Amino acid sequence: MHLNELTIEEAQLKLDRREITALELTQACLKRIKEVDSEIKACLIIGETEALKEAKIADERRQAGETGPLLGIPYLCKDNIMAKGWRTTAASRILEGYIAPYDATVIKKLRAAGAVLLGKTNLDEFAHGASTENSAFGPTRNPLDLSRVPGGSSGGSAAAVAANMCLFALGSDTGGSIRQPASFCGLVGLKPSYGRVSRFGLLSMTSSTDVIGPLAKTVADAALVLQVIAGQDGLDATSVPERVDQDAFQRAIQASDWPGLRVGWPKEYFLKELNPEIRRRLEEASEKLEEAGAEIVEISLPHAQYGIPVYYIITPAEISSNLARFDGVGWGLSHPAADLQEFYKKNRGQGFGPEAKRRIMLGAYVLSAGYYDAYYKQAQLVRNLIRQDFTEAFKKVDLILTPTAPHPAFKIGEQVNNPLAMYLEDIFVTGASLAGLPAISVPAGLVDGLPIGAQLIAPRLGEAQLFQAAQFIVEKR
Amino acid sequence: MAITQAEVEHLAELSRIKLSPEELEKYQGQLSSILDYISQLKKADVKRAHLESGGEIKNSWRPDSVKDWPREEVESALKQGEIEAGQVKTKRVL
């Protein structure tokens, strides 16, 4: 077995026993990237010298007696998260030449923990998309089938983990962008509770739903990363004070059963139109939960059908505001023009790709006088109904089980000219985002030879419960 | 819920984005079909809904204190734009 194929847990054990060094582990990942990434195109930039230096420091820290879950573990990071001194692109031309002047809080925490940053991964421009095809640098390919997309928007991170270029990767999830690529690439993808992880240093998309989280090979690895990156941060006023309970995570992952667990099966997510093979895989997942002691309960989320329309009003609205700061002044793309208005229009016109432009204009539309009440205000009202649906459901059940995506990975180019079809990819994942709830996608078997994910949703701050049930689904595969 | 080319032009103007004639035409069709889809939201019954139920998130407060940011990080941020006398330089506004 090659070192880059190890899970974090396995590597940690070998590092603790001095069987391997962080340097060897890092070299194995860098070698793998060189071998396969010219085809997969998961990475936008690799910092070999910097990574080797960080690995040596991690080895020295271990020599000095320090231990830690991520000390010496190599990872990749989605390129919408800032790492000091690294080029940061968000896969957009508008950030041309931009160098991050400071670390995102998550990067700072990972540096302190001794994790080794290998490089930055591809994404849909500013995380707008579900396939990683909306990147100014071209699409990433799914390592399990190179003719297919890896999902998105954290597609580069998912492809990199699936191809063993790193031991884990960071993604961001605004409306499914960690969970859906995890489903397409056969990985574990965690969207933590809103506020669980600081957003400071994440390039804002939809500030009311953006969350940073891990893409990992196992549930235990996802838990290890979460315990390092979580925590309140004075630089993000929406981060929450509740601490993660590492012992609870450990107990959750090691538990062999959960007597009395009630798992909700929302009827609105299992309509007759659902791919029968996906339904079958989800039934198998529910059987595994039953073996661990769970009772499956049919529940109703009556406003589920409005998840996509609500999401695609609130998200463009927030994008039109968040992306207003990219104006050619102060950093990034900056072509001269006759006057200020012309300068803005020219640089934004050339700098943003088609999906960013569509979303900015859609946002301007739903926020404009005469349309605000019918679209934006209505969407906020229905968002609260969606949130209440979950609150009601969690009075009856501990967790909710749904598919992550309506189908396995699709072909590159298949729906690139149909933005609405791309939006419908998010049908099962927007609910948890709009309600700020933690959700995880775990591998639930194959459909047409390709992986698909099962999604578990928990009440706010219920990540430990997610890990426990997720482990039941993957363990008995 | 079709929108006209003139409306797309207006949105582009509001968004400070210059579009080519081809883009205008393409986005007119695409935005119309997206608006068609999201307009189903108008059918949602919101009689029971209110805007205040913002979930369990509370305001998070911190002292409004001045913090010294590392000098080299400030400089590295500033030097990415056009600087004159320590200020970011832009085009005339008025």
Q: Among A67, A95, A61, which Cα is nearest to A79's?
A: A95
| A364-392 tens-digit pLDDT | 999 998 999 999 999 999 999 999 999 99
pLDDT for the residue numbered B51: 78
Mean of the per-residue pLDDT values of chain A:
96
Q: Which residues contact B61 (CB under 8 A, 6 or more apart)?
A: none
Model pLDDT, residue B1 = 66
Mean pLDDT of B19-44: 95
Distance CA B7, CA B11 (A): 6
Instruction: Inform me whether the pLDDT recorded for A337 exceeds 80.
Output: yes
Nearest to A349 among B18, B26, B76 (CB): B18
pLDDT in the model for residue B59: 73
Distances, alpha carbon A351 to alpha carbons A153, A195, A326, A348, in Å: 19, 31, 9, 5
Model confidence, pTM: 0.97
Handedness of CA A265, A466, A405, A287 (dihedral sign): negative
With an 8 Å Cβ cutoff, is A339 touching chain B? yes
Per-residue pLDDT at B49: 87
At the topology level of CATH, where does B5-43 sit?
Histone, subunit A (1.10.20)
Lowest mean pLDDT among A98-112, A301-315, A376-390, B50-64: B50-64
Tell me if A72 sits within 8 A of A55, measured CB to CB: yes
Test A375 with B38 for CB contact under 8 angstroms: yes
* Helix then strand then coil, % of chain B, to nearest 5: 45, 5, 50
* pLDDT recorded at residue A373: 94
Distance in angstroms (rounded) separating the CA atoms of residues A222 and A215? 7
Token pair in block for residue A445: 């078997």
The pLDDT value given to residue B53: 58
Phi, psi of A411 (to 5 degrees): -70, 145
Say if residue A153 is preceded by a cis peptide, omega within 30 of 0: yes
Q: Average pLDDT, stretch A62-73? A: 97
Contact (CB, 8 A) for A144 and A112 = no
pLDDT of residue A441: 98
Would you put residue A150 in left (φ > 0), alpha (ψ -120 to 50) or beta? alpha
A323's tokens: 């992306």
**Strand segments (E) across B1-94:** 83-84, 87-88
Q: Which residue of A has its CA nearest to B13?
A: A345
Closest Cβ–Cβ partner in B46, B73, B93 for A378: B46
B94 interface with A at CB cutoff 8 Å: no
Across A349-372, average pLDDT: 96
A331 and B80 in contact by Cβ < 8 A? yes
SS (H, E, C) A357-413: HHHHHHHHHHHCCCCCHHHHHHHHHHHHHHHHHHHHHHHHCCEEEEECCCCCCCECC
Tell me which residue in B16, B41, B50 faces A348 most closely, judged by beta carbons.
B16
CB A185 within 8 A of CB A161: yes
Question: Does the interface ipTM go beyond 0.90?
Answer: yes
- Of the pLDDT bands very low, low, confident and very high (cuts 50, 70, 90), residue B22 is very high
Q: State the average pLDDT over residues A62-68.
A: 96
Residues of chain B in contact with residue A343, where contact means CB-CB under 8 angstroms, are 91
pLDDT in tens, A172-202: 999 999 999 999 999 999 999 999 999 999 9
User: Is A177 annotated in the active site?
Assistant: yes
pLDDT digits (tens, 9 = 90+) for A390-401: 999 999 999 999
Please tell me which residue in A153, A183, A193, A320 is annotated as part of the active site: A153
pLDDT at B90: 82
The confidence band for A476, taking pLDDT boundaries of 50, 70 and 90, is: low
Share of chain A above pLDDT 90, in %: 95
Query: Does residue A454 surpass a pLDDT of 70?
Result: yes
Rounded Cα–Cα distance for residues A23 and A104 (Å): 24
* pLDDT one-digit tens code per residue, A73-104: 999 999 999 999 999 999 999 999 999 999 99
Please give the helix or strand (H or E) that residue A471 lies within, else none: helix A463-475
Say if CB A61 and CB A15 are below 8 A apart: no
Neighbouring-strand partners of residue A191: A439
pLDDT tens digit string along A96-127? 999 999 999 999 999 999 999 999 999 999 99
Please state whether A399 falls in left (phi above 0), alpha (psi between -120 and 50) or beta.
Answer: beta
Domain residue ranges in chain B: 5-43
Residue A149 · residue A183 · CB < 8 Å: no
Instruction: Confirm if A165 and A36 have CB atoms less than 8 A apart.
Output: yes
Say whether B76 and A460 touch across the interface (CB within 8 A): no
pLDDT of residue B57: 64
User: Does residue A137 register a pLDDT over 80?
Assistant: yes
- Spacing of C-alpha A290 from chain mean position: 28
| A462 chain-B contacts, CB cut-off 8 A | none
Nearest alpha carbon to residue A162 among A147, A183, A138, A190: A183
Identify the active-site residue in A131, A157, A177, A198: A177
Query: Is pLDDT of B56 > 70?
Result: no
**CA distance to A133, A367, A409, A418, per residue, from A415 (Å):** 10, 28, 12, 5
Q: What is the DSSP string of A172-202?
A: EESSSTTHHHHHHHT-EEEEPPTTSB--TTB
Q: Strand pairing of B83-84 and A439-447?
A: unpaired
Active site residue A256: no
CA dist B54 and A384 (Å) reads 7
A257 φ/ψ sector (left φ>0, alpha ψ -120 to 50, else beta): beta
Q: Is B3's pLDDT higher than 70?
A: yes
Residue-wise pLDDT tens digits, A22-39: 999 999 999 999 999 999
> For position B86, what pLDDT does the model report?
78
Of the candidates A59, A48, A50, A49, the one whose C-alpha atom is nearest the C-alpha of residue A23 is A59
Partner B contacted by A436 (CB < 8 A)? yes
| Tokens 């002047």 belong to residue | A101
Strands A43-46 and A116-121: antiparallel
Q: Dig out the tokens for A470 from the structure.
A: 């997720």
Give the pLDDT score at B54: 55
The percent of residues in chain A predicted with pLDDT above 70, rounded, is 100
